[in-house]
């Protein structure tokens, strides 16, 4: 057999085998995102947050389960579980961690100084809690979005005073898992003094505490209720909180728009699910090489005021025309 024939046979075999070799090559590495959530996966808010985030990824060309993997970790309303869940994500070698609310953000930051962390969403100024050095240049491995909730509590008091002009005492309901910052509490106290209001603080550690908390609020003769942001107890039990506020005939102000849609009186705040959707943008930028230290933190620019007139009538309240005119959504 001539050398030319042998070379032709070798070339033909190489050509035939080449596609098989290509098929056997490992596929391109699929990036993994870890998502740290304070609530249980079964709560409506957690489910809606997941849907919003994954919709945002799809809009940017990522297909969950195909071109990107998502590892969810839920604390089931137990903040003490967050540190271990965050360390679990860090040990798993995820490429980015998305942390929802202040306590998960803090746990993620304690778990790693190298994996980029996306805040979705910080409940107040992330500088106060030491998450970032500044909004324009975060300076570490944390960036993302804030809700400014604690800064809005002053606005909540002002609206409550407009709706209940003779109001003198307000109950502040929260959870130790989502504490007020020192500045947040100071701002609340200053605003209350300017409005002639006395504040009483009530904390719940779990759903079992809710009934007693509302009995205590009633015994304290509070004339209205401000419900703080809290993914562990209050938002996970939103229907029950709304029902108890109605039972004790308390005009209540919430930050999340789902509460008045369930029968709560009012809410004023940013759109939480729009923030979760927007967090996909940060994940996309980070996976494409952006540095969290140089990716500015976003603050909300639009806040929604939702008013439930049916609940107002049930409470015997007459909503001032000026307040009603400012409502973005009126639930009849």
pTM attached to this predicted model: 0.87
Q: Alpha-carbon distance 235 to 241, whole Å?
A: 8
Q: Alpha-carbon distance 108 to 208, whole Å?
A: 28
Q: Alpha-carbon distance 35 to 53, whole Å?
A: 10
Looking at domain 32-147+271-294, its CATH superfamily turns out to be Response regulator (3.40.50.2300)
Residue 120 host element (H or E):
strand 117-122
**What percentage of residues in the chain have a pLDDT greater than 90?**
84
Q: Are 100 and 278 in contact (CB under 8 A)?
A: no
Looking at the chain, the domain(s) classified CATH 3.40.50.2300 span 32-147+271-294, 149-269+304-331
Give the model's confidence band at 26: pLDDT under 50 very low, under 70 low, under 90 confident, else very high: very low
Residue 261 makes CB contacts below 8 A (sequence gap 6+) with 306, 308, 331
DSSP string, 60-77: TT--BTTTBEEEEEE-TT
State the CATH class of domain 149-269+304-331: alpha beta
Residue 6 has pLDDT above 60, yes or no: no
Residue 23 has pLDDT above 80, yes or no: no
Alpha helices in 112-237 (DSSP H): 149-163, 182-195, 210-219
Q: Which of 63, 37, 59 is nearest to 48 (CA)?
A: 37
Write down the pLDDT at residue 183.
87
Per-chain mean pLDDT for the chain = 91
Q: Which of 271, 249, 261, 272 is nearest to 332 (CA)?
A: 261
Q: Higher pLDDT residue, 1 or 308?
A: 308
Give the model's confidence band at 24: pLDDT under 50 very low, under 70 low, under 90 confident, else very high: very low
For 79, 103, 204, 236, the CA distances from 211, given in Å and listed in that order, are 21, 25, 10, 15
Q: Which of 169, 198, 164 is nearest to 316 (CA)?
A: 164
Q: Which of 29, 51, 26, 31 is nearest to 41 (CA)?
A: 51
Q: Write phi, then psi, for 220 (nearest 5 degrees).
A: -75, -5
Residue 52 has pLDDT above 60, yes or no: yes
pLDDT in tens, 77-134: 999 999 999 999 999 999 999 999 999 999 999 999 999 999 998 987 799 889 999 9
Q: Please state the rounded mean pLDDT for residues 218-245.
A: 96
Write down the pLDDT at residue 20.
32
pLDDT in tens, 171-213: 999 999 999 888 889 999 999 999 999 999 999 999 999 999 9
**CA atoms in the 13 A half-sphere facing the CB of 279:** 35
Q: Which residues of 156-195 are buried (b: 16+ CB within 10 A; e: fewer)?
A: bbbbbbebeeebeebbbbbbebbbbbeebbebbeebbeeb
């Amino acid at each position: 057999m001539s050398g030319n024939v042998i070379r032709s046979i070798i070339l033909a075999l190489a050509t035939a085998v080449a596609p098989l070799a290509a098929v056997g090559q490992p596929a391109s590495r699929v990036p993994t995102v870890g998502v740290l959530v304070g609530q249980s996966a079964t709560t409506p808010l957690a489910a809606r947050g997941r849907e919003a985030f994954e919709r945002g990824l799809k809009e940017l060309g990522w297909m969950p389960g195909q071109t990107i993997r998502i590892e969810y970790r839920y604390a089931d309303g137990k903040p003490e579980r967050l540190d271990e869940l965050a360390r679990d994500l860090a040990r798993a070698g995820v490429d980015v961690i998305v942390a929802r609310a202040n306590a998960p953000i803090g746990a993620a930051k304690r778990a790693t100084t190298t994996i980029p962390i996306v805040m979705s969403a910080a409940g107040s100024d992330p500088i106060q809690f030491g998450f970032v050095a500044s909004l324009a240049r975060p300076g570490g491995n944390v960036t993302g979005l804030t809700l400014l909730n604690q800064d809005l509590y002053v606005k909540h008091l002002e609206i409550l005073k407009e709706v209940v002009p003779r109001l003198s005492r307000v109950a502040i309901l929260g959870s130790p898992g989502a504490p007020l910052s020192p500045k947040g509490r100071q701002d609340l106290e200053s605003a209350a003094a300017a409005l002639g209001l006395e504040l009483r603080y009530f904390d719940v550690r779990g759903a079992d505490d809710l009934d007693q908390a509302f009995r205590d609020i009633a015994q304290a003769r509070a004339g209205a209720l401000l419900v703080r942001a809290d993914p562990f107890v209050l938002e996970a039990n939103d229907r029950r909180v709304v029902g108890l506020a109605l039972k004790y005939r308390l005009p209540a102000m919430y930050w999340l728009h789902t509460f008045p849609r369930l029968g709560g009186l009012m809410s004023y705040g940013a759109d939480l699910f729009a923030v979760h959707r927007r967090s996909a943008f940060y994940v996309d930028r980070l996976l494409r090489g952006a540095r969290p230290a140089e990716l500015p933190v976003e603050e909300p620019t639009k806040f929604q005021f939702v008013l439930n007139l049916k609940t107002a009538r049930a409470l015997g309240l007459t909503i001032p025309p000026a307040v009603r005119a400012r409502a973005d959504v009126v639930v009849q």
